[in-house]
Amino acid sequence: MTSAVDVVARLAGLTERDGWNLPELPPPQNPLADGDYWAAREALAEAGLTFPEAILACACGQAVAAAVEIGFPVAFKALGALHKTDAGGVELILGCRRDPRFGPLLVGFRNKLPLCLEATARAAALLGAFAAAHPEDEKVEVNPLLVTRDGAMALDARIVLAPAAETAEWLESDP
């Protein structure tokens, strides 16, 4: 996490000399009781990450009313199954990493205007602080994080709670 934030800070032109340094990690907060999407979204929004407007709808009529209230276009997210495989689908994660190519995408590439590095760094720092404050979470992710010239917005979030025994063991070993 530290190296990822450092890379984004360097791309933004921030250095320790400019007053850029990583804050101390927060102490553990009240544990989350639920790791579903809506709980993850609300917990991360409370921690400072930006999400688009959303309304929880549990029936077709509620979804239509929510879409009218928010305004079109809208996107729907199916809640319930943590993994697509639980619903008979297949979940794949594809990726590649080449750090020298990461920078140009954010600072302007192929006649594109640069994206908001400060918002990217802020989102990464907020997510890291949230993860540090919640040792009961085995995994915390925002995927995707939409980065524009004006800011960054979390479009999806996921929290996987660690087994209770692992969390208790981690808390007991913390000095």
pLDDT digits (tens, 9 = 90+) for 129-162: 898 898 888 888 898 888 888 999 999 898 888 8
Q: Residue 114's pLDDT is what?
A: 81
| Cα pseudo-dihedral 146, 89, 161, 38, rounded to 10 | 50
Q: Residue 26's pLDDT is what?
A: 77
Q: Residue 112's pLDDT is what?
A: 76
Query: What is the Cα gyration radius of the chain?
Result: 18
CB atoms closer than 10 angstroms to residue 40 = 22
Contact (Cβ atoms closer than 8 angstroms) between residue 99 and residue 7: yes
21 token code pair: 């340094």
Q: Residue 33's pLDDT is what?
A: 83
Chain segment 66-125, per-residue pLDDT in tens? 999 999 888 877 776 555 555 555 554 444 445 555 556 666 667 777 888 888 888 988
